[in-house]
Amino acid sequence: MKEGPRMTDEIVEKYFSAGRILSQVRSEAKDRIKVGASMLEVAEFVENRAVELGADGSAFPCNLSRNDEAAHATPLPGDETLFGEDVVKLDLGVHVDGYIADSAITVDLTGRYGDLVKASEAGLDAAIDTVKNGVTTAEIGAAIEDAITSYGFKPIGNLTGHGVARYIPHAPPSVPNRRIGGGSVLHTGDVIAIEPFATDGAGKVFDGSLTEIFQVIRSKPVRLPAVRQLLKDLEPYRTLPFARRWLKGDKIEYSLLQLEKAGIIHSFPVLKEAAGGMVSQTEHTLIVTEDGCHITTK
């Protein structure tokens, strides 16, 4: 692979190492997503198994979004929810020394949404076939939209893929799932995660009422002891998102609220399809090359 600026052989290997670990965890986790299985147990398996296989940690909490939920759903502390006949999006990320692998698959437990799953998979395949040095994100978005609509579904227009940087799961550029004007030019060595979402609904999402995932976005002094303690406990995550169920101690809810009010953390509400449509998602992380790309999470 011809390397881009600041992309050394050591960094490339860390991206691929994270991708290999993720691929194994994704495969093992997929087999655990069954009707009657515990969502919390699957999420904890994903997060713990990555470390067992050599990752330095999760790049973000395991997302298990169901049916009209598109993203950002993760179990609550002590969650007793079981999978039913759901369309389940498994979105997982791992990191090695901060270098991230991000991937998603959809598991149809209903047996009725095979074409919807194929639509997001086809969108990803079309995007990967388009990627190379000099291509614009607008061209990728058009390829995704054409592939999804060929199955009779809509891409979710206000969700995008994204760049990936060290300890930053969502970095520029945005990679649209539909046609746009302009777009950003991709260059050899860029690391991006492409994640088409397909739906039989309206083709857009809104913020739901539930929030279980947060991220530290800036450093600021805080006065209250409980809030200070939580901020200290969050230091190991750096700028990586974390789940409320990962946190221990007193006054967690209150402290999270205070940190959000102070602009120190950002929350990620569960994203729901605007018309209540079913949603599928497929995602890979890849490194752009002169004439194509290398998929790190295959």
User: Which residue in the list 68, 145, 170, 200 is annotated as catalytic?
Assistant: 170
- Those residues whose C-beta lies under 8 Å from the C-beta of residue 20, and which sit 6 or more positions away, are none
Catalytic residue list contains 28 = no
The residues, ordered by sequence, that sit 6+ positions from 257 with a Cβ below 8 Å of its Cβ are none
68 known ligand binder: no
Which of 47, 69, 86, 102 does the annotation list as catalytic?
Answer: 102
- Marked catalytic residue, from 69, 86, 145, 283: 283
> Can you say how many angstroms the Cα of residue 146 is from the centroid of all Cα atoms in its chain?
23
Residue 115 annotated as binding?
A: no
Catalytic residue, from 121, 195, 212, 273: name it.
195
91 is catalytic: yes
Say how far residue 60 (Cα) sits from the centre of its chain: 8
Residue 294 known to be catalytic: no
Query: Which of 47, 162, 212, 284 is the catalytic position?
Result: 162
Tell me if 95 is assigned to a ligand binding site.
Answer: no
Active site residue 170: yes
212 is catalytic: no
Residue 195 assigned as binding residue: yes
86 is catalytic: no
Q: Is 91 annotated as a binding residue?
A: yes
146 is in an annotated binding site: no
Q: Is 170 annotated as a binding residue?
A: yes
Residues in binding site for a divalent metal cation: 91, 102, 162, 195, 283
Active centre residues (catalytic): 91, 102, 162, 170, 195, 283
Residues in binding site for substrate: 72, 170
Residues in binding site: 72, 91, 102, 162, 170, 195, 283
